[in-house]
Amino acid sequence: MTISYLISSFAALFALINPLSALPVFISLTENHDAKWRNYQIRKTCMYIILICACAYFVGSHILGFFGISINALKIAGGMIISRSGFLLLNAKHKADVKGKTKKEAMEKEDISFSPLAMPLLAGPGSISLLINMRLEYPEPVKKVTIMLAIIGVAFSIYLIFSIAPKILKYTGNAGLKSLSKIMGFLVLAIGIEMISASILTMLKSVF
C-alpha cells in the first residue's frame, strides 16, 4: 500500500511540476554560462524545490485553518488550479510565464535557482495545492514520510533531467517535449477534475 501510494504521489507531483516542459526556458536562461555555474544552479534549484514542497505540505493546512478555509473549498480551488495547469499543458502553453521582462531580469541575475526556476517555473500553485490536499486527506505519519520521499524523488529527477537538458532537447526537439507535455497535461487535468468532483460529492452528501 505504501509503495503504491509513493508511486502515485511521485507521478502526480512529477506531472504537475513537469520539468520536461521547463527545459527550453532553462536552456535559454543558462546558455551563456559555463557548466560549473549551471550545475550549481541546478543543485540549488532542487534544494529549493524540496523546501517549498515540504513547507506547502506541512504548513499549508495550518495557514488555511487560520483563514477559516474548509477542506472542500481548498479541494475545489486547488482542483481548478490543477485543471488549468493541465489545460495549458495540453495546449503547450504551460511554463510560458517566464517571458518578457521576467525573462530579461532572470538572464541578468547571478542566481536564478529560487526565482524563476524553483518558483514559479517548477513549484507553482498547482503542486502546492496538491500537497496541501494530500496533507489533509492522509494525515497518517507513514504517509508524511512517503510524501517526503516522493518530493525528494521528484527533486532528484529534476536534477537528472536538467543536468542532461541539452542532450534531451537535441534528441526530442521542441515537438517531442510538447508531445510529452500533452501526455502530462492529460494526467494533470484528470487529477484536477477528480479533486473537484470528490469535493462536490462530499458537500452534496452532507446536505442530503
Give the pLDDT of the chain (208 residues) as one tens digit per residue.
588 999 999 999 999 898 888 888 888 888 888 889 999 999 999 999 999 999 999 998 888 778 887 878 888 888 898 888 888 888 766 555 555 555 556 555 678 889 888 988 899 888 998 999 888 888 888 899 999 999 999 999 999 999 998 888 788 777 777 787 788 888 888 988 988 998 888 888 877 6
Segments making up each domain of the chain, as ranges:
53-207
- pLDDT of 109 reads 67
Half-sphere CA count of 109, side-chain side, radius 13 A? 16
End-to-end CA, the chain: 33
Q: Determine the residue type at 143.
A: K
Task: Give the alpha-carbon dihedral of 99, 20, 161, 138, to 10 degrees.
Answer: 110
Nearest to 18 by CA among 90, 70, 77: 90
Contact 16, 150 (CB under 8 A): no
- C-alpha cell recorded at residue 173: 526537439
Number of Cβ within 10 Å of residue 124's Cβ equals: 20
